[in-house]
Amino acid sequence: MAIIINEDTNVIVQGISGKQGLFHTKQMLAYGTKIVAGTSSSKAGTTIEGVPVYDNVQAACENHQIDASVIFIPAAGAKDAALEALEAGIKTVVVVTEHIPVHDEMIIVAYAKRVGAAVIGPNTFGIVSSGKCKMGIPPNQFFVPGPVGVVARSGTLSYEIVGNLTAQSIGQSTVVGMGGDRVVGLTFVDVLKRFEQDPETKAVVLIGEIGGNAEEEAAEYIKEMTKPVVAYLAGKSAPPGKRMGHAGAIIERGKGTYSGKVEALEAAGAMVASVPWEVGSLIKKVLDLDKQFNWEPGALRMREERLDR
């Protein structure tokens, strides 16, 4: 098991012949991803790394069963590419592209909601179901199978933390990058719900950052979760970000600060690491607890003492 994608997921790469598309197609194939088709109007009819290339998604769908798409199309064409994949009935669409106009992102996300599909990103490193399928751009060597689900807002920081987990022999069920933009498809809550349902996932790592209120919303759901959650929030010592005039202030009303987020998460029963590499040791404790005490739902969040901080 894993969430969203697995070893049977048939993947299409939109924009397979571009610089990024080509490089990461090789990397994904090397990781074991089942890439069954790619799109590129200039290379249609050829194969790239053994993958047949089509004019567009529709043409590929006429020849293959496709479950998921990963998009490497430049920003100006990314909305069209995502809508194309969604309209073709593809239910998992990973948009790696960054710098997509936010109005385009709102359109993509609204349409995905309507057709009942999951969009990961935009501006995401992608998703890895460790040892089974990788869609996106993370380096292959750090993702190994195991019991920890990871969901993150930022890319490199996730590699950092996943790398640390792997170095401590803690593998991952699935690692999901939500994407760094203001409007993205799957949110923390969407991903946490899936981890909660996934029998292979025993604990969850949430990697957030200051600004916005995604972590506060996650905290609301974490209250209901039976699985332990360890969080790290970047930006404790970072300069405050820019605000969106009065309107932004009205929407956020005091949310978005480091301390507010930590408070919300801890109140919900999550443990918050103060530096990235502390995540591994917290997870270790959590999983040891599991073995020693025959883990019961909710047990962890009732513990009064904080772990080695």
Partner 1 sequence: MKMFEYMGKELFATFGLPVPRGRMVKSPAEAAKVAAEIGSPVVIKSQVLSGKRGKAGGIKFADDPEGAKAAAQELFGMTIQGLPVDIVLVEEKLQIDKELYLSITIDGSAKMPVLIASAHGGMDIEEVDEEYIIKKHIDVELGMQDFIARDVVRRMGIPLTSTHAQELIKVIKSLYKIFTQKDAELVEINPLVLSGDKVIAADAKVTIDDEAIYRQPDLPWVEEHTATEKAAHDLGLSFVELDGDIGVMANGAGITMGTLDTLTYYGGKPANFLDAGGGTGEEGTAKALELILARNPKSIIINIFGGITRCDDVARAFASVKKNIGIPVPVVIRLVGTNQEEGRAILKEVGIEAYDFMQDAARKAVELAKVQ
Q: Active-site residues: which are they?
A: 246
Annotate 67-125 with DSSP letters as a single string: -EEEE---HHHHHHHHHHHHHTT-SEEEE------HHHHHHHHHHHHHHT-EEE-SS--
Identify the residue among 10, 64, 75, 285 touching partner 1 (CB under 8 A): 75
How many other C-beta atoms are found inside a 10 Å radius of the C-beta of residue 189? 16
Cα separation of 201 and 208, whole Å?
Answer: 19
Establish if 58 lies at the interface with partner 1 (CB under 8 A). yes
Establish if 93 lies at the interface with partner 1 (CB under 8 A). no
CB of 214 to partner 1, least distance (A): 7
Please, which residue, 6 or 20, has the CB nearer to partner 1? 20
Phi-psi map region of 50: left, alpha, beta (phi>0 left; psi -120 to 50 alpha): left
Please, which residue, 235 or 289, has the CB nearer to partner 1? 235
* Residue spans of alpha helices (H) in the chain: 19-31, 57-63, 75-87, 102-115, 155-167, 188-197, 214-222, 245-252, 258-267, 278-293
The span of 3-11, 28-36, 99-107, 289-297 binding partner 1 (CB under 8 A) equals 99-107
Please, which residue, 104 or 198, has the CB nearer to partner 1? 104
Establish if 168 lies at the interface with partner 1 (CB under 8 A). no
Establish if 234 lies at the interface with partner 1 (CB under 8 A). yes
What residues have CB less than 8 Å from 246, skipping those under 6 apart? none
Establish if 183 lies at the interface with partner 1 (CB under 8 A). yes
CB 165 within 8 A of CB 230: no
Beta strands 133-136 and 92-95 are unpaired
Identify the residue among 114, 291, 304, 305 touching partner 1 (CB under 8 A): 114
Binding-site residue total for partner 1 (CB under 8 A)? 83
Establish if 133 lies at the interface with partner 1 (CB under 8 A). no
Identify the residue among 7, 26, 46, 76 touching partner 1 (CB under 8 A): 76
Structure tokens at 250: 């009205």
Establish if 110 lies at the interface with partner 1 (CB under 8 A). yes
How many other C-beta atoms are found inside a 10 Å radius of the C-beta of residue 240? 11
Length of the chain as a residue count: 309
Identify the residue among 116, 246, 292, 294 touching partner 1 (CB under 8 A): 246
Identify the residue among 53, 90, 117, 184 touching partner 1 (CB under 8 A): 184
Identify the residue among 132, 153, 202, 261 touching partner 1 (CB under 8 A): 153
Establish if 200 lies at the interface with partner 1 (CB under 8 A). no
